C-alpha cells in the first residue's frame, strides 16, 4: 500500500496593505517561515531530457535488433552475394521462421498440437536462430498479449502506437509489473523448453551466425557471405516479420470474426509472416493450429504442421468445429449489416428495431446448474461446467490445456466466470470465440439456461 504524508502549513498572514502581483523569478519573503524563496516556473533542461531518454533505452535488445543489422548492411556493401548463398539464405529464413510460427507460437504458446521429442528439439534449435529470446520468455509474453489484448497489461499493445507494438516495446525498458500474469507451468515441465532456456545464448549465437557461416564455408567457400546474408540479415528479416504480427496484424485488414478489438485479417501480413496475418481469426480461435481457415488463404505454417502430421511427428492437432467458425463469421457479418442499417435509417430519420427468435429447448434453472457442478449431489458425478457471457460450457476436456492454467479454470467451475475468463479487461464480443466452444451446452436467457440440440455441437 502506498504511504502518503500530510504537510501542515501555517495560516497565511493577511495584510491590509495593497499588494502587487509577483513577477516570475521575483524574490519574496515567506512571512510564516521568515525566509526568502524564489517564485519561478520549473525549467527542464535539454540535457535532463536527453539523459532521461538514454536511460530509458534497453541497450541489450537495441544492440541485437538495431546495431547488429546496421553492421550487417555495412559489411554487405563490400561483400558480394553469391548465388548459392542467396538460395541458402532464403531456405534458412523459412526454416528459422517456421521455428517461430510453428514452434514458439502454435506449439508452445497455444498448444495447438502435440509434437514428438525429435520435432520439439528441432523446432527449439531452429527457432533459436531467429534471436527472439527463449521459448519460455516468448510464450509468456504472447499468452499475456492474448489474455489482455489492447490493454495496459498487453506487453505490445497496438493502442500504445504502431511503432511501440512493432519494435518500441523491445528497444525501450518496460515496467515488468504492468504485464499481465499468465501461467507457464506447462512450459516449465517441458524438458526441451527448459534445455533451450538454460542454454539459450550459446545455442542462439550458434544457430543464428556460426551455423550459416560454417555451411556456406564448407560447401561453397563463402563463410563471410554466409555469416552476413544467411546470418545477420536473415535474422533481421525474420525478426521484422514477427514484429509485423504485433503491429500490422493489429492495424491492417478486416475484422472478419470480431471488430471489438484490434486484430485484423489481411493477405499482405500473411505473406510477410508465414501465414500469421489472418490474425482476427487467430485471436477468436487461438488454439486452432490454423491461422488461415479457408483453403485458398496463404498459411505455410499450417501446411508444415499437416506435413508433420502425415509423417507421424505430430498428433492431437486442434481445430474448431467448422459450424462454430461459420457462426462466428456470420455473427460479425450481421453486426456489420446492422451497423450499416442504423447509419442509413439515422440519415433518414428512422429507427432500428430487431429481435431474436425465441428458444424452444428445455430450460435449466440456476439451481439445476448448481446441482450439476456440486460435489454433494448423489444423482451423478460432478460436471465441470462454467458460465461465461450467459453460456454454459463443459470444460472437462479443456482443463489440462487452458493457457491460464488448470487451477484458474477449475476455480471457476459452478460459477459465473465471465469476468475471470476475460481477465477483468479482455472483453470477448463473440460467444463463439471461446477455446472450449465445441463443448458448449446451454444458453442463458432471462436467468434460464437453454440446452443446445446435439446437432449444433
Is it the case that residue 359 has pLDDT exceeding 60?
Answer: no
Indicate the pLDDT class of residue 403, thresholds 50, 70 and 90.
low
**Residues with Cβ < 8 Å from 384, sequence gap 6 or more?**
373, 394, 395, 396, 399, 410, 413
Distance from C-alpha of 450 to C-alpha of 387, rounded to nearest angstrom: 12
* Residues 362/454, Cβ–Cβ less than 8 Å: no
Distance from C-alpha of 324 to C-alpha of 330, rounded to nearest angstrom: 10
Distance from C-alpha of 97 to C-alpha of 91, rounded to nearest angstrom: 10
**% of the chain exceeding 90 in pLDDT:** 55
Burial of residue 342 (CB within 10 Å: 0-12, 13-18, 19+) is middle
pLDDT digits (tens, 9 = 90+) for 230-240: 999 999 999 99
Whole-number pLDDT of residue 335: 84
Cell of 256: 472478419
* Residue-averaged pLDDT of the chain: 81
For the chain, give the secondary structure using H, E and C.
Answer: CCCCCCCCCCCCCCCCCCCCCCCCCCEEEECCCCEEEECCCCCCCHHHHHHHHHHHECHHHHHHHHHHHHHHHHHHCCCCCCHHHHHHHHHHHHHHHHHHHHHHHHHHHCCCCEECHHHHHHHHHHHHCCCCCCHHHHHHHHHHHHHCCCCCCCCCCHHHCHHHHHHHHHHECCCHHHCCCCCCHHHHCCHHHHHHHHCHHHHHHHHHHHHHHHHHHHHHCCHHHHHHHHHHHHHHHHHHHHHHHHCHHHCCCECCCCCCCCCCECHHHHHHCCCCCEHHHHHHCCCCCCCCCCCCCCCHHHHHHHHHHHCCCEECCCCCCHHHHHHHHHHHHHHHHHHHHHHHHHHCCCCCCCCCCCCCCCCECHHHHHHHCCCCCCCCCCCCEEEECCEEEECHHHHHHCCCCHHHHHCCCCCECHHHHCCCCCCCCCCCCCCCHHHEEEEEECCEEEECCHHHC
Indicate the pLDDT class of residue 36, thresholds 50, 70 and 90.
low
Whole-number pLDDT of residue 15: 44
User: What are the extents of the domains in the chain?
Assistant: 53-319, 320-349, 359-456
Burial of residue 112 (CB within 10 Å: 0-12, 13-18, 19+) is buried
Distance from C-alpha of 365 to C-alpha of 450, rounded to nearest angstrom: 9
Whole-number pLDDT of residue 256: 92
* Residues 265/172, Cβ–Cβ less than 8 Å: no
**445: phi then psi, degrees, rounded to nearest 5:** -145, 125
Distance from C-alpha of 254 to C-alpha of 370, rounded to nearest angstrom: 40
Whole-number pLDDT of residue 228: 98
Whole-number pLDDT of residue 415: 81
Whole-number pLDDT of residue 445: 38
Query: Which of the residue ranges 118-122, 167-171, 355-359, 435-439 would you say has the lowest mean pLDDT?
Result: 355-359
Closest-CA residue to 142 (of 94, 174, 101, 197) = 101
More confident residue, 294 or 380: 294
Whole-number pLDDT of residue 375: 61
* Residues 85/216, Cβ–Cβ less than 8 Å: yes
Whole-number pLDDT of residue 379: 54
Q: What is the mean pLDDT of residues 305-328?
A: 93
Number of other residues whose CB lies within 10 A of the CB of residue 108: 28
Distance from C-alpha of 228 to C-alpha of 374, rounded to nearest angstrom: 63
Whole-number pLDDT of residue 159: 92
Cell of 218: 564448407
Whole-number pLDDT of residue 141: 94
CATH number of 359-456: 3.10.120.10
Q: How far is CA 345 from CA 38, 72, 331, in A?
A: 63, 59, 21
**Residues with Cβ < 8 Å from 208, sequence gap 6 or more?**
128, 129, 130, 131, 231, 235
Indicate the pLDDT class of residue 404, thresholds 50, 70 and 90.
low
Whole-number pLDDT of residue 9: 45
Q: What is the mean pLDDT of residues 432-441?
A: 49
Whole-number pLDDT of residue 52: 84
Q: What is the mean pLDDT of residues 331-356?
A: 67
Beta bridge partners of 172: 57
pLDDT digits (tens, 9 = 90+) for 437-448: 445 555 443 333
Amino acid at each position: 500500500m502506498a504511504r502518503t504524508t500530510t504537510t501542515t502549513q501555517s495560516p497565511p498572514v493577511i495584510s491590509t496593505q495593497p499588494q502587487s502581483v509577483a513577477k516570475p523569478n521575483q524574490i519574496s519573503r515567506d512571512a510564516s517561515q521568515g525566509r526568502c524563496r524564489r517564485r519561478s516556473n520549473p525549467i527542464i533542461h535539454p540535457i535532463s531530457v536527453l539523459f532521461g531518454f538514454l536511460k530509458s533505452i534497453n541497450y541489450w535488445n537495441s544492440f541485437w535488433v538495431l546495431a547488429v543489422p546496421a553492421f550487417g548492411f555495412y559489411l554487405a556493401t563490400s561483400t558480394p552475394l553469391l548465388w548459392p548463398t542467396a538460395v541458402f539464405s532464403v531456405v534458412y529464413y523459412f526454416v528459422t521462421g517456421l521455428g517461430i510460427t510453428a514452434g514458439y507460437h502454435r506449439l508452445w504458446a497455444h498448444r495447438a498440437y502435440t509434437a514428438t521429442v525429435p520435432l520439439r528439439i528441432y523446432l527449439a534449435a531452429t527457432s533459436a536462430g531467429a534471436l527472439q529470446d527463449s521459448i519460455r520468455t516468448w510464450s509468456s509474453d504472447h499468452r499475456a498479449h492474448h489474455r489482455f489484448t489492447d490493454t495496459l497489461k498487453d506487453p505490445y499493445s497496438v493502442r500504445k502506437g504502431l511503432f511501440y507494438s512493432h519494435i518500441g516495446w523491445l528497444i525501450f525498458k518496460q515496467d515488468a509489473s504492468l504485464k499481465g500474469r499468465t501461467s507457464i507451468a506447462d512450459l516449465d515441465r517441458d524438458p526441451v523448453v527448459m534445455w533451450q532456456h538454460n542454454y539459450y545464448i550459446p545455442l542462439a549465437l550458434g544457430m543464428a551466425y556460426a551455423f550459416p557461416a560454417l555451411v556456406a564455408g564448407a560447401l561453397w567457400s563463402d563463410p563471410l557471405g554466409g555469416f552476413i546474408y544467411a546470418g545477420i540479415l536473415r535474422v533481421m528479416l525474420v525478426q521484422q516479420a514477427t514484429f509485423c504480427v504485433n503491429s500490422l496484424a493489429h492495424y491492417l485488414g478486416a475484422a472478419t470474426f470480431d471488430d471489438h478489438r484490434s486484430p485484423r485479417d489481411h493477405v499482405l501480413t500473411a505473406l510477410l509472416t508465414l501465414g500469421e496475418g489472418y490474425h482476427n481469426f487467430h485471436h477468436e480461435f487461438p488454439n486452432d493450429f490454423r491461422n488461415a481457415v479457408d483453403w485458398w488463404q496463404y498459411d505455410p505454417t499450417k501446411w508444415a504442421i499437416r506435413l508433420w502430421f502425415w509423417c507421424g511427428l505430430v498428433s492431437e492437432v486442434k481445430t474448431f468445429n467448422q459450424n462454430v467458425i461459420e457462426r462466428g463469421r456470420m455473427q460479425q457479418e450481421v453486426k456489420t449489416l446492422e451497423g450499416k442499417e442504423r447509419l442509413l435509417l439515422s440519415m433518414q430519420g428512422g429507427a432500428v428495431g430487431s429481435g431474436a427468435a425465441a428458444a424452444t429447448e428445455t430450460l435449466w434453472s440456476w439451481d439445476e446448474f448448481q446441482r450439476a457442478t456440486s460435489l454433494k449431489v448423489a444423482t451423478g458425478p460432478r460436471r465441470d461446467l462454467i458460465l461465461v457471457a450467459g453460456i454454459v460450457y463443459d470444460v472437462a476436456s479443456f482443463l489440462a490445456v487452458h493457457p491460464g492454467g488448470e487451477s484458474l479454470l477449475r476455480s471457476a467451475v459452478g460459477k459465473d466466470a465471465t469476468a475471470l475468463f476475460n481477465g477483468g479487461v479482455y472483453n470477448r464480443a463473440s460467444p463463439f470465440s471461446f477455446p472450449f466452444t465445441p463443448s458448449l451446452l446451454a444458453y442463458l436467457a432471462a436467468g434460464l439456461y437453454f440446452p443446445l440440440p446435439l446437432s449444433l455441437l
